[in-house]
Structure 1
Amino acid sequence: MSFSYKFQKILSIKETEKERAQELYQQCVRKFEEVAEKLYHSLKQKEELEANQLRKISTGLNVQELRHHQQFITNLEKTILHYQNLVFNARQKMTEQEQQLLEKNIEVKKYEKIKEKQYSHYKELVNADDNRLMDEISIQQFMNRGS
């Protein structure tokens, strides 16, 4: 008598779904990190440009150059705003995928727990059968010695 889990196909499907959810979550994490890094570099570039502009203003800067710097900073601020929106969306998507992954994990754990309980019950039945068989063998041997 061998153990057969009646929900094995469902467990396999749930494990596959969990793996897909894990992959999607990892993709979302990578996308978030990528966009966040671009935002960081843009913010750092803006900070460096502003610091550079302040140095040039203190040493003397013509109006045309000042306008050029200001236009560049304005464009950079638009880029930063764009990346902030992308980071927000990527974080939101990552959080959604994380939630789905947690749900898939819980589903798999439920079926694994059921499998463990069924296996434990199976082992009890096997042990009971073994004990019954041993008792019958002992009785047979006792009866054979007595004759």
Structure 2
Amino acid sequence: MINQLKSEQIDELVADSVIGTLICFDRNEKVKFPITYVKEGEYVYSYSKDLEKIMVMRKDPAVLLKVFKVSGESGWLSANVLGIYEELDGINAEIARTILKDKLMACAIKDHSYEVHGLTPQYIQGIVESSNVIYRIHIIKKTGKYRSLP
């Protein structure tokens, strides 16, 4: 049976995950990018070396983050977070870099399964520091569903 997630459950799913799919819109066409992110309050923070993604978001800052988690053998949770892209610079970018490094490092150290995705502490330190753009997504609306076990 498929049910709706409550707002708190959506927040928990998005905060507990660090990998999602970012959907941007380029001339009415959906463009999907895998991202590593962290949720802090009403924002999702991320970084990019991929200027194609950044150029698309600069043209149309409305974005959708999709997060999915498998639960048991046949259950799952899914969240859609609609938000507005905001590029950060100066002190705001440095604060965001610290948030990203701290939370991603904690995930990598706590759960070694992230190494499958290349998220080792060394990689996190290097990529966050050397990224061209640090940005956040201001969460505007969120929805979510789950399928319980039969």
Greater share of helix residues, 1 or 2?
A: 1
TM-score computed with the length of structure 2 as normaliser: 0.21
User: Bigger relative contact order, structure 1 or 2, given CA contacts below 8 A and separation 6+?
Assistant: 1
TM-score computed with the length of structure 1 as normaliser: 0.22
Larger Rg computed on CA atoms: 1
Greater share of strand residues, 1 or 2?
A: 2
